[in-house]
A and B are shown apart, each in its own frame.
Chain A
Amino acid sequence: MKLKHLEGLLGDLQQFSNPKVELEQYPTGPHIASRMIYTAENSFDDISGKVVADFGCGCGTLGVASSLLGAEHVVGIDIDPQSLEIASQNAEDLEVGINFIWSDIKNLKLRGPLVDTVVMNPPFGTRKKGSDMEFLCMALKVASRAVYSLHKTTTREHIKRTALRDYGAKSAEVLCELRFDVPQLYKFHKKKEVDVAVDLWRFVP
């Protein structure tokens, strides 16, 4: 599948109808999501024929993208039931089979070796400090091949140091810097749309 085609399909997905600020729910836009999963597949062979887990899947964009690019089995995990409902509908609309689990990432016990790749757009940890790192820590415990994740560019050094030193990652590499359009979803957003610089990371556990 071509990148443009993937981006087009993801563009039709339903997004959060009532985003929850405490969970830092921001949709992963089709531009970023398609590039993330396309790169994982075409540069690193981490998607097709693999078992992929989407941590904090929200409306399921990254999981759906993984399925479309040939993942054998995709598990989407989220704490928010409304998101899971939308994600299920999205998967059904695009006729991809995804398994969803309703759970808090930090309390979930997943048997490690079965999951090849974790893909995620974690909460940035702006509202609740450290939640991005909780996700990363769990992802590196569960994945056996690679973890793909998005983090604010301003936290780059901290992410790298923590992943390598504390979470036992063998490598932590920024694949590219992207602009994340955060639309004015919440009342505390003063500007109509804010551009946040984010890094697309690839970690090897």
Chain B
Amino acid sequence: MRLLTHNMLSSNIRGVVNGFPLGIEAEKVVEREVELSAEFLRGVFPKIEWGALVAGARALGHPDLLPGEADASMLASDDFLRRFHRALLQLHVEEGALVCPETGRRFPINKGIPNMLLHEDEV
């Protein structure tokens, strides 16, 4: 699971108000190289919740990969684009869990697939 997917997901439990971002417990992280597209990164940047991406990279063992704050002017820098690309698209959580920030409920991740199924009393 990429951090781009993490950036889309929030806790879906009934009654939870602040379900975003989900915490990440990463037990196994892998990196898969993919081609960098500056055009894609520039287009997607304004839609990304930056704080969630920074927290995600930290949880995956890369606390210094991204700056704490970012604005669109940084997209002119190749170094920034490479870091953003790596965090968003190359790092994957293979095993671990996502954690609801409000209730602490864990959603396990196995073979890269988060299990977001809810119990009957959570729907």
* Contact present for B118 and A107 (CB under 8 Å): yes
A111 beta carbon closer than 8 Å to chain B: yes
* Contact present for A107 and B9 (CB under 8 Å): no
* Contact present for B12 and A49 (CB under 8 Å): no
* Contact present for A110 and B115 (CB under 8 Å): no
Contacts of A115 in B (CB 8 A): 8
Partner of B9, one of A49, A72, A101: A101
* Contact present for A111 and B10 (CB under 8 Å): yes
Contacts of A99 in B (CB 8 A): 1-2, 4-5, 112
Can you list, as one digit per residue, whether each of A89-126 has a CB less than 8 Å from chain B (1) or not (0)? 00000000101111110011111011100000000000
**Which of under 10, 10 to 19, 20 to 34, or 35 or more describes the interface residues of B?**
20 to 34
Total interface residues on A, using CB and 8 Å? 23
* Contact present for A73 and B2 (CB under 8 Å): yes
* Contact present for B7 and A79 (CB under 8 Å): no
* Contact present for B113 and A102 (CB under 8 Å): yes
CA distance A178 to B47 in the complex (A): 36
Contacts of B47 in A (CB 8 A): 113-114
CA distance A79 to B20 in the complex (A): 22
Residues of A that sit less than 8 Å from B by CB: 49, 51, 72-73, 75, 79, 84, 88, 97, 99-104, 107-111, 113-115
Residues of B that sit less than 8 Å from A by CB: 1-2, 4-5, 7-12, 19-20, 32, 34, 37, 39-40, 43-44, 47-49, 89, 111-118, 123
Q: What are 13 A-B pairs at a CB distance below 8 A? A: A49-B40, A51-B4, A84-B113, A88-B112, A88-B113, A100-B113, A101-B114, A103-B115, A103-B116, A108-B12, A109-B19, A111-B9, A114-B4
